[in-house]
Chains A and B, each alone.
Chain A
């Protein structure tokens, strides 16, 4: 048997397997949806966190303003890291931050806000995680930049300094 050919084939086979596995790994990442631009926000009616009042999406998101919808939860670790950035963003009067409290307990969410501050104008209380599905969110945290009833940009995962800077530029 030709020894050299055998060696080369073996190594080649393993390299092919490596490439396929590598591709498969990449594929698991593309399951997060692509950036949606100019998408209409879903219309829904929902309960507010503090007042427990029912409210429609059109009342919540007025057409002439910029909004940042932030999906968060007290049990979500990255939410803690992005929270100071949101607090900082409240200083900018051009944008209102709306929170969507995802699959959380009311008192632990309250504790979270008491501890770290409340950057949200209004908070949607999404105990079952149903609203988050309507937004097409896959996890916490996620943020949607909204203007004129449309989602301009979607941020998956926690916001960081660069992204907040980008938001500031977008709403100028």
Chain B
């Protein structure tokens, strides 16, 4: 009760501080020899207020204060403490508050950390960032106040959707938001730099840190969501090309492209328009994602029941941001005419530009696949969904040149170069083609496109692996990230090619037997937990080599809300995952059993970790090359 009042008023006060900051900034902008310390203080104060408000919500959840509507709707007194806390951002209102918190946190960090840049630039960045912050404040207070008061106070809450009660999903949103919101800093600072016409090498070096930070978080955030989908949704897949997943992939693609463009800009005054457009689109794509997920206009397996009324606000807000940035871009940006001159086909920047074009292509494929159903519904009111085959068909073939360019590109020098040590590179290419050919021959999965794809991924793998030992190419962070990427593509390929799956319905005591695998449904037992009942099944699985494995998947029947979830049992080894999940069919004796062997599952996660580790290394390394 008291907490809600404090939380609510600190939000309103925080909004007031936004106005104060804007007022001070405009005043400061006119005589800008040094940054007014009042601005700094107000920003910190705003941060403190938002954190206070956030803490109030966290404690309302911890103490199960059901007079707060958000707590009532999303919590339950029997929930473990960890999920009470993570429940804070597991819902619409709380997650928006978290957005706001990260927004204010980042702008404060930006103000402290940015020392060598002109004061005018800092103030303008702050101004643009405050526009976003105000938008979120108004959105929170107006349409989704997390501190709505309930009277009379209910005795018990409705509980958090059990499928969300999971450690990976508890930390997934904060990390993803750090990535999304980090891109807001890039957005504001790119706009500020455009206004002051200072998109330059110096600016690139300065903004690169922020690009890297958000990129690392975004990568990790996507991975966590994917891990969660893998073991909690019971499909055994890790990426479904579902709209909600696509929506997090799009900013990642834009951000990755931006990261590479910034590297070029750091060396040469080219690609300035590109950098600005990418900075703008990264953040707008993040916002667009929020809009599509929150408004419920997309039909996705991840969609939760929600309120379309809120969608309108985000939509208007999103498009005003786009219009502002377009205005800034068109009226302030003067593109240097000779951008394309002194430009050689065989140089590092060419290869980066080529890869950027591929990235943009991937981005547009994902974008079209995601929004096409919306457009078709509005224009012809036909309901469609775009499935994985669409994405596979359009993306997979283009990965081949993409991978090859990734292998060769970093070998080239800036401006103009000849390809060095051609011989060993060609040798490696031949070796990788042969290897992939034999792998596919042995496992009898011979498709031309797979052979070529695996060859190019193996090629990238070898080249990057070799480069770890060669001093001349000691761009270690890039090398780690590219090595990770080759590993990722390889593991995904092997995973999808060599996965096997058995789905069957079994009663207790029955055995499924095809010539390769025997699945024996040994027993079930019941267990009572604090907030759910669980049915634990026991399976003996014997494969063709005569090795038996004991797996016990679980069914959880949560009491509040009343939902059944399946907990898969996964035996993970370096080579493969054995994945089993059961489900009960209403009023029937049969259990639906799904058993999968998924090779190299662990490597998918490891390689994504490696990719983001590459980003981290680059962040902490001072000046390379």
Contact = CB atoms under 8 A, between A and B. Distances in A.
Contacts of B311: 25, 28
Contacts of A166: none
A170 B150 CA distance: 32
A125 to B, nearest CB: 15
Contacts of A20: 374-375, 378-379
Given A11-B326, A18-B319, A111-B155, A25 B312 contact: yes
Nearest to A103: B562
B377 A77 contact: no
A111 B377 CA distance: 45
Contact of A28 (B69, B155, B296): B296
A103 to B, nearest CB: 8
Task: Classify the interface of chain A: helix, strand, loop or mixed.
Answer: helix
Contact of B378 (A7, A23, A74, A116): A23
Interface string A15-54: 0001011111101110000000000000000000000000
Nearest to B291: A21
Interface string A72-115: 00110100100000000000000000000000000010010001
A10 interface: yes
Nearest to B148: A77
Contact of B374 (A10, A24, A75): A24
A35 to B, nearest CB: 19
Contact of A21 (B73, B152, B297): B297
B158 interface: yes
B483 interface: no
B345 interface: no
B330 A80 contact: no
B323 A27 contact: no
Interface in A108-165: 108, 111, 115-116
A102 to B, nearest CB: 13
A108 B156 CA distance: 9
B152 A25 contact: no
Contacts of B297: 21, 24-25, 27-28
Nearest to B299: A28
A35 B400 CA distance: 56
Nearest to B306: A28
A7 B323 CA distance: 11
A21 B69 contact: no
A115 B152 contact: yes
B315 A18 contact: yes
Contact of A14 (B72, B73, B150, B323): B323
A108 B323 CA distance: 51
A33 to B, nearest CB: 16
A14 B378 contact: no
B308 interface: yes
A27 B377 contact: yes
Interface string B312-331: 10010001001100100010
B85 to A, nearest CB: 22
A77 B73 CA distance: 9
A28 B378 contact: no
B228 to A, nearest CB: 26
Nearest to A18: B319
Interface string B73-96: 100000000000000000000000
Contacts of A80: 150, 152
A148 B618 CA distance: 76
Nearest to B375: A20
A138 B297 CA distance: 17
A24 B326 CA distance: 24
A28 B308 contact: yes
Interface in A55-78: 74-75, 77
Interface string B289-312: 001000111000000000010011
A21 B308 contact: no
Interface in B448-465: none
A28 B315 contact: no
Nearest to A19: B378
Given A10-B326, A14-B322, A115-B152, A25 B69 contact: no
A147 B323 CA distance: 53
Which among B150, B311, B323 has the greatest number of chain A C-beta atoms within 10 A? B311
B319 A28 contact: no
A61 B319 CA distance: 52
A118 B150 CA distance: 20
A115 B150 CA distance: 14
A77 B68 CA distance: 11
Interface of A: 7, 10-11, 14, 18, 20-25, 27-29, 74-75, 77, 80, 108, 111, 115-116
18 contacts: A11-B323, A11-B326, A18-B319, A20-B379, A21-B315, A21-B374, A22-B312, A24-B297, A25-B295, A25-B297, A25-B311, A25-B315, A27-B378, A28-B295, A28-B311, A29-B308, A77-B73, A108-B155
Given A20-B374, A24-B378, A75-B154, 12 more contacts: A10-B326, A20-B378, A24-B374, A25-B297, A25-B308, A27-B297, A27-B378, A28-B295, A28-B296, A28-B308, A77-B150, A80-B150
4 A-B pairs with least C-beta separation: A28-B308, A23-B378, A24-B297, A24-B374
